């Protein structure tokens, strides 16, 4: 009989991709995946450590799993991902019953490690940093039409609040031929959309021989037959070139959506975050992008309550948000993460102040989104049908090229296809449409 594995993924798309690889490796090793931890023989938590709160969630999940381990002594428990990489000793202290820890550089060694744990009962901790992750690993992808493709790993920017360079290491780009081969394979398997992943995709190619920059990589991927849509994330505002903006306009498959994290609107805060741009430069960039690609939808990430952020500084963030009118914003209270530079800053703000600012920011962004979505009513969009709607099973759900979610009536055989949809109603969450033409 097949053994069963349960994988829980926290955090970003890169973690989701790594989990797809782990699922692929385990399936090849005769495991069956399950969505029920209580029936699993192997449980893996692929963890995120971009904020303290996410780490706490992982620890409370480990507490729940302890009970399963007590019931089933043969259950193997592994912690992978960013918490594993950065805090292996803390994980073992919090949960001494963990069988193995595999960091972000070593997750692909999973089958080997599970076998060793099973055979010898020894506990394994592997968080050694390695230069590359092998190519051609099997993957069990969650989605049948849209796939993640990492183009680089790690980050060299060291924004003062951020744990990513510590949990994912220095920036390493994948070779263009490996990326192109993966996208070609996806096209053969019927995938229509790829999302290229990296912490800072605009600096793709740094350190490679025969350097190909990100705009050139997009151009090469645009030629791959069968792929209809190309997305990418994340773009760092300091590294966006005019060449990239022009290629985004000219390459037919590159979608009209840009995730451009601004983080803050005050130059004092941006400088202390080490973001490498000013509010003025960001606004100029937005202006240039919108002039070149008028249909573009812009989304962002914003942190409130960074150390030393005054009410005046926060007002500048609100002011920037009003000026840009983003199509979406992921908003966070600053989280003090041990080991990052900003955690040592002395002017930390009380949690209450951060939460209150976050509430005001969310309220403003809701109003903006409602207004922007309303302006789309009556317009037609190409939608890639992703599946049944999450809310009601007799409706379909898909995304526009601008990454807006649209819900509409239609036959389930349209899943995976591109359809034209006219928007008939809107809210801050989603658009409602009708298939047309």
Query: Least Å distance between CB 153 and ligand SF4?
Result: 11
d(CA 416, CA 385) in angstroms, rounded, equals 5
Q: Is 223 known to sit in a ligand binding site?
A: no
Q: With binding defined as CB under 6 A, does residue 329 bind ligand SAH?
A: no
CA distance 166 to 264: 22
Residue numbers 290-309 binding ligand SAH by CB under 6 A? 301, 303
| Cβ-contact 251, 218 below 8 angstroms | yes
Q: Closest approach of Cβ 157 to ligand SF4, in Å?
A: 4
Q: Which is nearer to ligand SF4, 42 or 270 (CB)?
A: 270
Please report where in the chains the tokens 């594993």 appear, as a residue. 84
According to DSSP H, which parts of 31-189 are helical?
52-71, 81-86, 88-94, 110-120, 164-168, 176-188
Is there binding between residue 297 and ligand SF4 (CB under 6 A)?
no
Is residue 357 close enough to count as binding ligand SAH by CB under 6 A?
A: no
**Smallest distance from ligand SAH to CB 216, Å:** 21
Strands 42-47 and 76-80, bridge-based pairing: parallel
Q: Is residue 79 within 8 Å of 126, Cβ to Cβ?
A: no
Residue closest to 321 by CA, chosen among 352, 367, 275, 390:
367
Contacts of residue 219, Cβ cutoff 8 Å, sequence gap at least 6: 247, 251
Show contacts with ligand SF4 in window 109-168 (CB under 6 A): 155, 157-159, 162, 164-165
First to last CA, the chain: 50
CB of residue 44 to ligand SAH, shortest distance in Å: 22
* Residues within window 234-293 making contact with ligand SF4, judged by CB under 6 A: 236
Distance CA 373, CA 391 (A): 19
Q: Which is nearer to ligand SAH, 50 or 113 (CB)?
A: 50
**Based on CB atoms, which residue is closest to ligand SF4, 40 or 197?**
197
Classified as helix, coil or strand, 385 is: strand
Nearer to ligand SF4, 91 or 197 (CB): 197
Residue 12 marked in a binding site: yes
Q: Is 82 annotated as a binding residue?
A: yes
Q: Is 436 annotated as a binding residue?
A: no
Tokens of residue 114, six digits? 């599970």
Structure tokens given for 26: 């385990």
104 binds ligand SAH (CB under 6 A): no
As annotated, the binding site includes 12, 48, 82, 155, 159, 162
As annotated, the binding site for [4Fe-4S] cluster includes 12, 48, 82, 155, 159, 162
Name the residues that contact ligand SF4, by CB under 6 A: 155, 157-159, 162, 164-165, 199-200, 236
Name the residues that contact ligand SAH, by CB under 6 A: 50-51, 161-162, 164, 199-200, 234, 236, 261, 263, 301, 303, 332, 334-335, 337
């Amino acid at each position: 009989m097949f053994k069963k594995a349960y994988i829980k993924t926290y955090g970003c798309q890169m973690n989701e991709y790594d989990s797809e690889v782990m699922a692929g490796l385990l399936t090849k090793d005769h495991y069956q995946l399950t969505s029920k931890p209580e029936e699993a023989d192997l449980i893996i938590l692929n963890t995120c450590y971009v904020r303290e709160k996410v780490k706490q969630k992982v620890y409370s999940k480990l507490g729940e799993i302890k009970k399963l381990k007590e019931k089933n002594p043969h259950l193997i428990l592994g912690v992978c991902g960013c918490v594993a990489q950065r805090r292996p000793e803390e994980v073992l202290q919090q949960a001494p019953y963990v069988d193995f820890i595999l960091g972000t550089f070593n997750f692909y060694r999973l089958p080997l490690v599970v076998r060793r744990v099973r055979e010898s009962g020894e506990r394994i901790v592997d968080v050694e940093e390695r230069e590359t992750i092998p190519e051609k690993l099997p993957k069990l992808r969650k989605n049948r039409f849209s796939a993640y493709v990492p183009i680089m790993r790690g980050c060299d920017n060291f924004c003062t609040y951020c744990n990513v360079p510590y949990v994912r290491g220095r920036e390493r780009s994948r070779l263009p031929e490996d990326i192109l081969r993966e996208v070609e394979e996806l096209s053969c398997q019927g995938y229509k959309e790829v999302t290229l992943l990296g912490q800072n995709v605009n600096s793709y190619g740094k350190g490679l021989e025969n350097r190909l920059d990100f705009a050139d990589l997009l151009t090469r991927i645009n030629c791959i037959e069968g792929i209809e849509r190309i997305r990418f994330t994340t773009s760092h505002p300091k590294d966006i070139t005019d060449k990239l903006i022009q290629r985004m306009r000219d390459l037919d498959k590159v979608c009209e959506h840009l995730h451009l994290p601004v983080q803050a609107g005050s130059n004092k805060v941006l400088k202390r975050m080490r973001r490498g741009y000013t509010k003025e430069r960001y606004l100029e960039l937005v202006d240039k992008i919108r002039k070149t690609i008028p249909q573009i939808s812009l989304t962002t990430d914003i942190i409130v309550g960074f150390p030393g952020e005054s009410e005046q500084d926060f007002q500048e963030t609100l002011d920037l948000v009003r000026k840009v009118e983003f199509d979406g914003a992921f908003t966070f209270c600053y989280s003090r993460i041990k080991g990052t530079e900003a955690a040592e800053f002395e002017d930390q703000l009380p949690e209450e102040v951060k939460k209150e600012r976050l509430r005001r920011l969310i309220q403003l962004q809701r109003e903006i989104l409602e207004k922007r979505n309303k302006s789309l009513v009556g317009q037609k969009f190409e939608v890639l049908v992703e599946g049944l709607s999450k809310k009601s099973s007799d409706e379909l759900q898909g995304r526009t090229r601008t990454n807006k979610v649209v819900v509409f009536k239609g036959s389930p055989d349209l899943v995976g296809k591109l359809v034209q949809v006219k928007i008939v109603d809107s809210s801050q969450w989603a658009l409602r449409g009708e298939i047309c033409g």
